[in-house]
A and B are shown apart, each in its own frame.
Chain A
Amino acid sequence: MGNPMRIRAVTADGNTTVKVLMSHPMETGLRKDSEGNLVPAHHITTVTATHNDKTVLTAEWGAAVSQNPFLEFSFAGGAPGDKVSVHWVDNQGDSRTDETVLK
């Protein structure tokens, strides 16, 4: 389990914009630590965002996405009380889901 994500979703003119800040080291597997040992790859591979159980975005990531990844996207619809949830899985089998409620 990683640390919680920060999710902000705002609806305007029938469109919902979602901003997500995840907390993840995103190690490439190519970097060496201070003793010269390779740091094993540890990065998010799949991100799924849902709006009331309907998938609104799927992303497949490699190690080249920055540490503590930021993601912004938007979808049509969204009303107060709707749930927007974001789920990620990393290459070490860890995963996390966080959600926010539209205001």
Chain B
Amino acid sequence: MNMHRRSFLTLSASVLAVAATATMWPLRAMAEWVRPKAAFEAKGMDDTFAAMGGTPEASTDIDFMTPEIAENGAVVPVTVTSKIPGTTEISILVEKNPNPLAAIFVFPEGTDPSVKTRVKVAQTCNLYAVVRANGKLYSATRETKVTLGGCGG
């Protein structure tokens, strides 16, 4: 009886190990294209930067345009243009949103490293544009005042 139990335990353990490897495999194979879930779910700027791979270096080569005063925090237009050579990614972060990371844009060769979109801003705070170029992170910051919103300032 004991023998059986032992062999069953070993067997189930090895089955589990195989299953775990199998589920992780596609993630590894597609590492470049997997959504950085942890970064989207992170709360607070420090955690988000950590999930993105480090704290970015401030740069003046990023054109970051946001309104100084946004009347409606639900629709805040944002324009980011990177002049840093080798830009592959632009991310937009809103400091005081429940999850700061709003969007990541990935630019293949031939696409201008520039994007315009609209994001939600919960309350008056800093917006960050983070650029990934040659494996390094750079950022630009702008404050946006929100007059209308759940907890407007």
Contact = CB atoms under 8 A, between A and B. Distances in A.
Interface of A: 15, 28, 30, 45-46, 54-67, 69-77
Interface of B: 33, 35-36, 40, 74-77, 94, 97-99, 101-108, 110-112, 114-120
Question: Which 5 A/B pairs are nearest by Cβ-Cβ distance?
Answer: A64-B102, A72-B116, A66-B118, A58-B106, A75-B111
A46 B37 CA distance: 12
Contact of B105 (A30, A57, A70, A74): A57
Given A55-B108, A66-B75, A67-B74, A60 B35 contact: yes
A64 B35 contact: no
Contact of A30 (B76, B98, B103, B119): B98
A71 B77 CA distance: 10
Contacts of A61: 102-104
B74 A62 contact: no
Nearest to A74: B112
B118 A72 contact: no
6 contacts: A59-B106, A62-B103, A67-B75, A70-B117, A74-B111, A76-B110
B22 to A, nearest CB: 23
B111 A64 contact: no
Nearest to A64: B102
B118 A64 contact: no
A68 to B, nearest CB: 9
B130 to A, nearest CB: 13
A60 B104 contact: yes
Given A60-B104, A64-B102, A74 B114 contact: yes
A70 B105 CA distance: 13
A40 to B, nearest CB: 15
Nearest to B100: A64
Nearest to A61: B103
B127 to A, nearest CB: 11
